[in-house]
Chains A and B, each alone.
Chain A
Amino acid sequence: MGKVILRARGIFKNYRAGNRMVSALKQMDLEIEEGLFYAVVGRSGSGKTTLLQVLSTQEEVDGGDIWLDGEAYGTISASRRALLRRKKIGVVFQEYRLMAELTVYENIVLPSLLDGREIDGEYIGKVMNLLEIEQLKDAYPHQLSGGELQRTAIARAMANRPRIIFADEPTGQLDETSAFQVMRLLRESSALFGQTVVMVTHNKQLAQYADKVLVLDEGTLVGGIGDD
């Protein structure tokens, strides 16, 4: 077993849906190894997105705790969590979430700007080249196709050289060809730059790109494929 980069212990999360209480995550334990590509699969409502959100610090757990690189989410302040998100975490959304008024290039370098660091042109160029969006650098999001948008979002997530990238159904809005292209590029680039990826998907074919597959059912981790 490789080095564990992210660990969750006894985490649970509840939501209220109308008058009903929903337990999205139930007392879950989880370990993510560095440099691997994880796919989280499960039926709709199984808690995949919630898991991704709590792991990527976008949501807080109701109980239990999560450690990234040995730092526990529950013990640090909100601003420290934001810093963690900025420096060590990259997020890719299903609906891309690009800034409409920024160009492709500006969107990609935005995390670097927010972090106040020098833009590494060589690295950004490599990423863009790898994701085949170099020629689109001056285009605005409304001028791009779905696949191009998602590749831009992936490039943005990789811009700060994060330790771990969380992707929430990154191919959910793409046709089959584009989906596989995006998946291939995500796989290749993360492997090239040694980044850990946790991807949520309900597409079992796409999940085959992963080194390990985690299966969720009703907020509980019921098993994994590729476990040692």
Chain B
Amino acid sequence: MTKRRSGKFRFLIGVDFQRRHVLKIQAIIYFLSIFLLSALNIWISNMGRLQQVQAAERYGSWQYGLIGASLEDMEFVRQNQLLQSAGEAAVYGEICQEDGFGLGGIGTMEESLGKLCGIRFMSGGFPEAKNEIALEQGLLEQLGLPYAIGAEFSFQVKSAEAGTGEQGSSSARNYILCGIFQSNSAYTQAGEYLPLALVSREAAEEISQRRQAELFFRLEEGCDVIKVKEELVAALRDRGGTEEGSWIQNAFVYGSDFKRGDSRGTMLLIDLTGYALTFCLVYTYMVREKTRTGILRSLGMGESEILLLLTGEQIFIWLAALLPGLLLSGVGTRIFLENYIRRQNLDAVFLYPGEAVSTACITASLVMLGGSLLGYLRARFKTSHRKSLIMDYKVLEQGKVTPLKGNIKEALLKRELQVRKRAYMGFFCMQILTLTAVSFSVGWIYRHYQGYKANRNAYVCDYIVESGTQGNSMWGESTPVELGLLNRIKNMEGVERVETTFWQQDVEILNEDVRNGAHYQAAEQYYGERGMGVGVALFAVEAEEEIYKKLASQINEGEWNQERLEAGQEVVLFIPLQNFSRSDARALSYIEYTQQEGYYDEEYPAWKEKEINVGDVLAIRMGNRERAVIVGGIVYDMPMAGNIRGIIAFNSYRIYCGAAVFQELTGGAGESSTCIYIEKGPLAALQAEQLENLLSESKVNWENIRGKILPQLEYHRNSMGMGLAFLGVMGILTVFVSCIFLNKETELAAYKNRLLWSLGMDFKERHLYLRWYGLCIGISALLGIAGNWAAAGLFVHSAEIQRGSFDTNLNIRGTYLLLLGAEGLILAAEVLLLCRLLAKKEKFSKNVYYFVP
């Protein structure tokens, strides 16, 4: 049978495709649709990435960098009339270890360059006095220095003549720490040329009289930056100065006109257009196909066979159009986008073509699939089942039908379900789609409302804060903090609350057994190759109950005893690289590494080797402070996992302890995730000012603090607006479709009720029958909700997990509760409305043409 069928379909589809003009046109239109949808989606997702990068302020606002320039060249460039702002940095020497190994350049930096390049001080600021020094955070950690502004220390400085290859003299120098700037800046395009330790010009010149300097600048708005640069290069060359190759460029500022959220709105518009076009195309095709399917039906093809034929045909055309469409869109956008990027001096937004293409492919496919499905359903069920059913009722009332004798209620229901099966299926599908879309929008709005609400009255201090608030988690900016300062803020009048989740500081494990174990050795080697330490982090948890529960639920051995943790009696040890799954993409780097080094085989024996047990004593040290703690629980953790552990999974071993132990060992400094909330109201400004004063005493850069909250608020506002707009569109569509459906239901209801009445059913009996009807509708709605929950849940969950938010489950739960309430109401209203319509007797008779008095 299968063989016969496949031969038959091969013949019909193959011959049809070769000879039928309409299919060729359809394939071409599909191809163009896929091409355009994919191309636009790739374009927009790339632009979206551009905006994200911009939002992250990775590059700052400079346009050109003049690298390794002489003083004369820099002065020449500075004289250009079109320069809006410029900043200079210079490397005079190198900070090194005692064995002479260089750690990073030491030099000067103008404050204007800090603004241009987006260099942010997490604590303190630029050096003002001769003995002051500001350090990049990574360098501070490498040097093993405390996070304490005002601390005095000394280290070796070598007056290496950068770029000359000459070895300078090395000497120990004393400094006072005046500022710490974030490590991120060291990885930006500009940052790699900048010194990691900043001193005053006077102090720098004591190190060396020679220097390697950089000038970064930005031109006036509206000028032709490329032309100006070419003129500058030519002029410098004429003077025998800087070569063209020593310029770097970053006209990233051109993309700053984009607003977050705009592109997604455009994408939505494009996708809806694509959806409508596909719908029209498939609908037209299906209507035209009626003659053909009529012939096939008359020749003995069954309904399912015809459906299979049409589906197969569409899949064939779809696949024939999909590959070239995607290929062309991928190639086309690469060519045009890259050209556009070059012309407009944008960032290389095509860095991740695979991701963009796959997103575009999925989006385009879903859009077209949705359009096709609806177009197909619309065309297929165009014939009015309502009319057919009305006929049934008419015939029934005339008493001419024999098959429906007996139990009239059962017969009616059976007949109705038989005739209207497709209509109900269509309604059911529509219900699933609509509820999914609506739920998603509601969830989206809810999540962003949470984020907005959390930020509305919070001053998120980048001095203290590493991650944000509920639904607004950002990470990657670990920041040093002093416990004393935080306590002072907590006690300030007007401060509503201060939320800290984790405190983190690197420590050292002293136990020889542990250190010689396979895990530890492997981790040491892994991190060592990446220029990092062994990787043992001490965590103090000051969190809400919810976080404790989550942490406790992950324990593999022992238990999470908060009381003993807080009393300093026990710690919980997170041991990574155990139980990881080969399917986990994030662990692949470890697998690759271990394969190379021979640690890995099918059974992972090395990883499973036990090095420590619950109840063992673990000796840990930080600086000159040492302490022994008892291991109360062990979690075998997966590094970089996308769950609650993920956010703290940078280090190899993690030890969770109480605040007292943390303070004892670290001296009260560490990285944290903290938010400061200030009470709303007229005094908020005053309270903010007090906070500002307090933080200013600790050399906090208040400009950064104040600036941080606004983009978050804007982001959440835009996202809520977009969600509401989508909800509005969906609402209009739903109302429109539901009106049609309910209108038809109303006509049927009126006639059916009349019939039941004429057959002698009393109100109670009719109502019983109607309840069954309502139950059918209710079941389909419930199934729709289940499907919707699964889809929305999966989407939101994965999105939240990718964000690495702590609040994933809280948000999801909130969203679900909201959805449950809303959908329950919708469902109840729907069933009630239908029952009411069905229970009414003559009300609808006035305008119903087939009503028989």
Contacts and interface: CB of A to CB of B under 8 A. Distances in A.
Interface stretch (A79-87, A124-132, A181-189, A205-213): A79-87
A122 interface: no
Given A82-B301, A86-B301, A63 B19 contact: no
Contacts of A1: none
Contacts of B402: 10, 63-64
Interface string B276-303: 0000000000000001101111111111
Contacts of A156: 299
A208 B303 CA distance: 38
Nearest to B392: A62
Contacts of A87: 300
A16 B390 contact: yes
A58 B298 contact: yes
Interface residues of A, number: 38
Interface string B11-23: 1000110011000
A113 interface: yes
A196 to B, nearest CB: 17
Contact of B302 (A12, A21, A79): A79
Contacts of B850: 16, 19
A78 B304 CA distance: 10
B403 A114 contact: no
Contacts of B395: 14, 62-63
Contacts of A16: 387, 390-391, 394, 850
Interface in A40-86: 56, 58, 62-64, 74, 78-79, 82-86
Interface stretch (A29-37, A95-103, A170-178, A216-224): A95-103
Nearest to A21: B394
Interface stretch (B1-9, B503-511, B736-744): B1-9
Given A16-B387, A97-B291, A101-B15, A116 B303 contact: no
A179 interface: no
B401 interface: yes
Given A12-B400, A97-B294, A82 B302 contact: yes
B828 to A, nearest CB: 36
A14 B291 CA distance: 23
Given A62-B401, A101-B20, A115 B394 contact: no
Given A14-B391, A63-B395, A114 B400 contact: no
Main secondary structure on A side of the interface with B: mixed
B303 A63 contact: no
Contacts of B3: 116
Contacts of B8: 113-114, 116
B551 to A, nearest CB: 59
A68 to B, nearest CB: 13
A134 interface: no
Given A16-B391, A63-B403, A99-B295, A78 B302 contact: yes
A96 to B, nearest CB: 10
- Which of A79, A91, A99 has the most chain B CB atoms closer than 10 A to its own CB? A99
User: Considering residues B15, B295, B303, B850, which has the most beta carbons from chain A within 10 angstroms of its beta carbon?
Assistant: B295
A99 B297 contact: no
B746 to A, nearest CB: 18
B304 A116 contact: no
Contacts of B11: 113
Contacts of A116: 1, 3-5, 7-8
Nearest to B17: A101
Interface in B195-227: none
Contacts of B294: 97
Q: Tell which of B8, B300, B391 has the most Cβ of chain A within 10 Å.
A: B300
A98 B298 CA distance: 11
Nearest to A115: B300
B302 A14 contact: no
A86 B391 CA distance: 29
Given A16-B387, A63-B403, A102 B302 contact: no
A110 interface: yes
Nearest to A84: B300
B101 interface: no
A82 B506 CA distance: 77
B352 interface: no
A64 B402 CA distance: 8
Interface string A129-157: 00000000000000000000000000010
Nearest to A80: B302
Interface string A1-45: 000000000101011100101000000000000000000000000
A85 B15 contact: no
Contact of A102 (B15, B400, B401): B15
Contacts of A78: 302-303
A62 B397 CA distance: 13
B845 to A, nearest CB: 14
B94 to A, nearest CB: 79
Interface hub of A10, A86, A156 (most chain B Cβ within 10 A): A86
Contacts of A113: 7-8, 11
A211 to B, nearest CB: 25
A114 B11 CA distance: 10
Contacts of B305: 82
A116 B299 CA distance: 13
Contacts of B5: 116
Contact of A91 (B4, B7, B298): B298
A86 to B, nearest CB: 2
Q: Which of A63, A64, A101 has the most CB of B within 10 A?
A: A101
B422 to A, nearest CB: 13
A150 B501 CA distance: 84
Contacts of B295: 97-99
A139 B849 CA distance: 51
A151 B19 CA distance: 23
A114 B16 contact: no
Contacts of A98: 295
A98 to B, nearest CB: 8
Interface string B402-413: 110000000000
B297 A82 contact: yes
Contacts of A115: 300
Nearest to B22: A101
14 contacts: A10-B402, A12-B400, A56-B298, A63-B395, A78-B303, A82-B297, A83-B300, A87-B300, A101-B19, A102-B19, A111-B299, A113-B11, A114-B8, A114-B301
The 6 A-B pairs of least Cβ separation, nearest first, read A86-B300, A116-B4, A82-B302, A101-B19, A85-B300, A79-B302
Given A14-B394, A16-B850, 4 more contacts: A78-B302, A79-B302, A114-B301, A116-B8
